[in-house]
Structure 1
Amino acid sequence: MATLETKQGALEFTTGDGVRIAYRLDGSVDKPVLLLANSIATSMDMWEGQAARLKEHFRLLRYDYRGHGGSDTPAGPYSLDRLGRDAVELLDALRIDRVHFLGLSLGGIVAQWVAIHAPERIDRLILSNTAAHLGSPELWEGLIASVLKPGSMPETAESFMKNWFPSSMLTPDNPIVKSFREMVLATRPQGIAGSWAAIRDMDLRRTASLIDRPTLVIAGEQDPVTLPEHGELLAKTIPGAELLVLPSAHLPNVEMESAFIEEVTAFLRRL
């Protein structure tokens, strides 16, 4: 698995099925590694606002899903098994045995898969604004068909903004919302459609009970995507899991950055 320099200091490795995945590894080598996994239709830059404070305590490993950011976009659909193996193969390529794993939205689904199938790779687990199962296949089929229509990305981006941020942030001059809109518009439609197919086909409502890592589940009171009850179900299913409900929409790492970082850091550094 070759590693080489790419744009803006990112690196690449090649997965077992020949897909180049972009990643970054930042911070002091004497700190524990924290693997961050993103929401769908974003890149590893989703965590840029929180990176400086998190690096005070952790060495940060970020990466772009296939079809996202600086990674390749193979033909879809994608499977959760493949997305999970991408994360495990990244750790293999870097010879990292264990990490803390923080996954948000789709990242939380990938993190669940890794915790179920490769629990020895995880120390502590944080599942933020995510679910073990999300809606009927018909819902996702409609979304997949819509995003693959030519010229659909501006409408798709606006839909994401309304789902991710509270109305108070959705102003024309908000630089945070603007940066996230640009991330969505830079994502290839096939990357979004392929990842939605993985969500369409996944159901971890029973297998999540196999997770034996210390786990914190974070939910948003006003999250219209992964509802508070999705987080409540996850916390009930995973033995010993803790539940934290924040007064946020879908991206508490952005909307409530200080509170989010404080809670994450406290959980991950707990003896």
Structure 2
Amino acid sequence: MSTLPRTGHAIAADGTRLAYQWHGTGRPLMLLAGQANDHTWWDRTRGDFPSTITMDYRGTGASDAPDSAYSTTGFADDVIAVLDGLGVGEADVYGTSMGGRVAQWVAARYPDRVRRLVLGCTTPGGKHGVERSNDVRLALARRSSVEARETLTDLMYTPAWRAANPGPYRVLGAHGMPPNAVRGHLVASNGHDAWDVLPEISAPTLVLHGDDDLLAPVANAPLLTERIPDARMHLFAGARHAYFDECRPESSDLVSDFLG
């Protein structure tokens, strides 16, 4: 794989500049990060795949941060804008956490653009989704404090894995996000509800989840699997929200095998 990614900006329908990073060659795997995170979410795992495209959501990284409404459907449109800008007609899509919510909309609204779909540590949202506890919500609301950052890290990784892997961790939020973007990402993630369109997803789908995930409770995994036609599911025993990081290489191997 090339060590120098192809980078640049695509332009969304509203003129927002969206930063992208394309590593490797061949059929691309579009990797979508969690809420209020940029492409560095995938720093430890992108090298497990021969060709990946990542992006900085609006409001993160090198993308613009317009002071406008953010939503998971809007983020899905941004994903298509990036693929269009790169001349990619069809891609595999792998979204984790809020990225999994975005990926649901990409697959449902743009079925001809998604060959295979992987949904990790995510939820259908709305009244059918299983919500995180109020304690977790309070911890996330205080994400700028040292205590909250420690709580978030604990929600991501098991103590044993953290002891053996002291960091730095790339899944704790993008640096330098303006307040409007932080609020926008929170509203987008909390407002997600794709339940009604999940049966319309036609791409073969793999649902992955850690069975000790309190950030996006594991009960959401069977909901997605049962709602999406012919979806399959795998749970990682003892893993928390960042299973894709802690459970490497097993998780990446599962994804690679699924994508063929």
* CA RMSD, Structure 1 to Structure 2 (Å): 2.7
In the alignment, the residues of structure 1 paired with residue 11 and residue 118 of structure 2 have an alpha-carbon distance, to the nearest angstrom, of 26
CA deviation profile, 1:10-68 (whole Å, cap 9, x unmatched): 3112211121111111112xx2111000011322112121222212xxx2111011111
Task: Tell me the equivalent position of 2:157.
Answer: 165
Aligned counterpart, 1:3: none
Is contact 2:37-2:60 (8 Å) kept? yes
Q: Does 2:230 match 1:240?
A: yes
Whether 2:68 is the aligned partner of 1:114: answer no
Q: In structure 2, how many angstroms separate the alpha carbons of the residues matched to 1:113 and 1:99?
A: 14
Once the two structures are TM-superposed, the CA of residue 173 in structure 1 deviates from its matched residue by: 7.7
Q: Which runs of 5+ in 2 are unaligned?
A: none
Q: How far did 1:203 drift?
A: 1.4
The aligned counterpart of 1:47 is 42
The equivalent residue for 1:5 is: none
For 1:254, the equivalent position in structure 2 comes to 245
* Counterpart code for 1:242: R
Task: Tell me what 1:4 maps to.
Answer: none
CA contact (8 A) 1:153 1:189 kept: no
- Say if 1:217 and 1:242, in contact at 8 Å, map to a contact too: yes
SS at match of 2:124: coil
Matched letter for residue 218 of structure 1: L
Residue 207 of structure 2 corresponds to which residue in structure 1?
217
- Secondary structure in structure 1 of the residue aligned to 2:88: coil
Q: Tell me, yes or no, if structure 1 residue 130 matches structure 2 residue 127.
A: no
Which structure's residues are more often helix, by fraction?
1
Deviation of 1:193 (Å):
1.8
Aligned pair 1:27/2:19, yes or no?
no
Q: String of CA shifts for 1:80-138, please: whole Å, max 9, x gaps.
A: 221110001111111111000000011100100011111110000000110101567xx
The TM-score with structure 2 as length reference comes to 0.86
In the alignment, is the contact (CA less than 8 A) between 2:140 and 2:152 conserved in 1?
no
The SS at the match of 1:45 is helix
Is 1:16 the counterpart of 2:45 in the alignment? no
Paired positions, count: 250
Partner Cα separation in structure 2 for residue 95 and residue 33 of structure 1: 11
Give the counterpart of 1:198 among 188, 212, 221: 188
The two structures have a TM-score, normalised by structure 1, of 0.83
Q: Which deviates more from structure 2 when the two are superposed, residues 154-163 or residues 127-136?
A: 154-163
Residue 214 of structure 1: how far off its partner (Å): 0.3
| SS of the residue 1:161 aligns to | helix
Q: Unaligned stretches of 5+ in structure 1?
A: 1-7
Cross-structure match for 2:216: 226
User: Is the deviation greater in 168-177 or in 10-19?
Assistant: 168-177
Distance 2:163 2:175 in 1: 18
Structure 1 pair 189/44, CA: closer, same or farther in 2 (3 Å)? same
In the TM superposition, residue 232 of structure 1 has moved relative to its aligned partner by 0.7
- In structure 2, the residue matched to 1:102 is 94
Give the counterpart letter for 2:182 in structure 1: I
Aligned equivalents of 2:37, 2:140: Cα separation in 1: 20
Distance in 1 between residues matched to 2:226 and 2:247, nearest whole Å: 25
How much has 1:154 moved relative to structure 2? 3.9
Identity of aligned residues (%): 26
Q: Counterpart of 2:45 in 1: which secondary structure? A: helix
For residues 122-169 of structure 1, the C-alpha deviation after alignment (integer angstroms, 9 at most, x for no partner) is 000000110101567xx7xx769946xxx9454543342122112234
